Structures are given as structure tokens and as C-alpha cells.
């Protein structure tokens, strides 16, 4: 295979993934989320107008009726919001069950659409597209990770170097240990170890003042176990033979060293870092509003 052949394959992968993303942007769930956002924005504008009328006219009966009208629509909007969050959570869960973790640079509805394909007969198509996607974005992920955790630069940089050198037997265990260390550092617990049938990261996330239905959906992997951390009885019960942290680090798996598995671990590293960044952003926003 020469360079032109390889380049054609990569371009084909990009085209396939772009088609997946375009289909996401045209999907009903994406449109419903956009519609919901638009409705909430309209409601905010209407309530602002009512407030201005209150000051300008002091017509309390009319203004009260307008407030009642708009607030009567709120329960339906909240219900739509919860359903959308549940769809996204289910999508993130299915992605994790196949070893992939949501990149927050993708459209918010992408986990649902990707999970539909992963659960279909065409799962290899999207799996190939995800390999190409994370391969193309691994440098961005590395740069962002080192900006957030510069104290881990020496180790993480060498792990990515091992990945680029196709030494996946080295990149995977090193990145798994760094993910563990990052979670202990910022979430006060390991993502791969459970307490009360939940990852130890769950305690920190559930204690946040900013946690709600939507954020619970986005942070699902920090709140519920995924196959990469399953114990031997659960793996046996589910007939799971994919990438598993315990099997890698305890020498039980000898065939884990593939580019796909290394990219899956990179996707988890990216997810954990982005969750941390999202929490920091929310905390800063709340402090500025106080």
C-alpha cells in the first residue's frame, strides 16, 4: 500500500464520519433540543418584556395573567428537557459499553445517534469512523490535557509518543493509570473502583451544587460503571471480552495492544479532562453570579 492508497482510506473514513455527524445535525433529537433551546429563549424574552411592562404600565392584572400564561408552559418544557437528557445519557452509556467516550467537541445529540448505529448491524462502520475521528483529534486532546494537568506532562507525553510509535502495549496501561490519578486528584476517587456499586468518582459528582438532570447525563460515566472497569463476575455474566483496566494492569490480557484500544483509552482520558473542565466552568459561573 502506497501513500496515496493510505490517504484515500483516511479521507474515506473522514467522509463516513462527516456523514454520521451531518445525519446527527439533521436528526429529530438534535432538532428537538434546538427547538427546546429556542422555546426557552423565547420564554426568557417574553418574561423580560412583561417585566418592562410592569415598570412602564403598572397594569398588574394584565401582567399577572401574562405571567400565568407563560409559566403554564414551563412543565411541558421541563418534561421535554428531561426526556432529551435521558436520550443523551442512554447514548453515552451505549458508547461506553462499546469502549468509546463522548467528546464534548461533538454535537450534544451525537451520543444518541452514534449509539443507534453501534447497536445496529452497521456498528463496524461507526467504529471505524470513531477510530479515524480520535486519530485525527489526538493532538488536540493531548494539548488540552497538558494545559489542564501540566504536572503530568512527562508521563502523558511519553504515553502519546508510545501510541504514535505503535507501542500500544505501553501507551494503554500508562494512560489508564494517569486517568486513575487524575480522577483521584480532581474527583476524590478512582473511576475504575466502585463503592456501593458506583464508581468512586460518583460521590464527588453527586455532591456538586450544580448537578442536575442534564449534567447527570453528561457525567454518566463518572456516575455508573462501564465495561472498562467491570469485575470478573460481571464480565462473565455479560460475556464481555473487550478492553478492561483490571485485565490489562494485572497481566491477564495479552492481546490488548491495538490502535483501536489505545484510541479508546485516549477518548476516556479526554472525557475525564473535559468533565473536570465543565465542572470548573460551572463553579466559576456560579461564583460570578453571586
90, with CB counted inside 10 A (0-12, 13-18, 19+), is middle
> 201, 222 in Cβ contact below 8 A?
yes
**pLDDT value of position 221:** 95
- Report which of 96, 131, 57 is spatially closest to residue 220, judged by C-alpha positions: 96
pLDDT, position 10: 47
pLDDT, residue 3, reads: 44
pLDDT by 10-residue block (mean), the chain, 290 residues:
46 55 56 56 60 54 56 55 77 92 89 81 85 97 98 98 98 98 96 93 87 82 95 92 95 96 98 95 67
Cα R_g (the chain), whole angstroms: 22
SS3 assignment, position 258: coil
Question: What pLDDT is stored for residue 131 in this prediction?
Answer: 96
- Give the residue among 64, 107, 112 at the shortest CA–CA distance from 92: 112
Contact 235, 252 (CB under 8 A): no
pTM: 0.74
As a whole number of Å, the end-to-end CA separation of the chain is: 61
Amino acid at each position: 500500500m502506497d501513500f496515496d492508497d493510505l490517504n484515500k482510506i483516511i479521507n474515506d473514513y473522514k467522509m463516513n464520519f462527516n456523514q454520521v455527524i451531518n445525519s446527527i445535525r439533521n436528526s429529530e433529537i438534535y432538532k428537538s433540543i434546538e427547538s427546546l433551546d429556542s422555546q426557552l429563549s423565547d420564554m426568557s424574552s417574553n418574561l423580560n418584556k412583561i417585566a418592562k411592562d410592569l415598570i412602564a404600565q403598572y397594569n398588574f392584572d394584565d401582567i399577572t395573567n401574562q405571567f400565568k400564561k407563560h409559566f403554564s408552559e414551563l412543565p411541558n418544557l421541563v418534561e421535554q428537557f428531561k426526556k432529551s437528557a435521558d436520550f443523551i445519557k442512554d447514548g453515552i452509556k451505549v458508547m461506553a459499553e462499546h469502549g468509546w467516550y463522548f467528546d464534548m467537541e461533538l454535537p450534544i445529540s451525537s451520543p444518541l445517534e452514534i449509539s443507534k448505529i453501534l447497536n445496529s448491524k452497521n456498528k463496524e462502520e461507526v467504529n471505524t469512523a470513531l477510530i479515524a475521528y480520535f486519530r485525527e483529534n489526538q493532538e488536540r486532546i493531548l494539548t488540552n490535557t497538558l494545559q489542564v494537568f501540566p504536572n503530568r506532562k512527562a508521563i502523558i507525553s511519553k504515553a502519546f509518543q508510545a501510541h504514535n510509535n505503535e507501542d500500544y502495549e505501553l501507551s494503554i496501561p500508562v494512560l489508564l493509570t494517569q486517568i486513575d490519578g487524575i480522577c483521584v486528584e480532581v474527583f476524590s476517587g478512582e473511576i475504575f473502583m466502585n463503592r456501593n456499586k458506583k464508581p468512586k468518582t460518583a460521590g464527588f459528582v453527586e455532591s456538586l451544587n450544580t448537578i442536575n438532570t442534564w449534567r447527570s447525563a453528561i457525567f454518566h460515566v463518572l456516575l455508573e460503571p462501564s465495561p472498562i472497569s467491570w469485575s470478573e463476575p460481571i464480565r462473565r455474566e455479560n460475556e464481555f471480552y473487550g478492553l478492561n483496566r483490571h485485565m490489562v494492569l494485572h497481566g491477564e490480557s495479552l492481546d490488548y495492544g491495538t490502535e483501536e484500544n489505545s484510541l479508546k483509552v485516549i477518548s476516556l482520558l479526554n472525557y475525564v479532562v473535559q468533565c473536570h473542565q465543565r465542572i470548573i466552568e460551572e463553579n466559576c459561573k456560579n461564583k460570578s453570579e453571586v
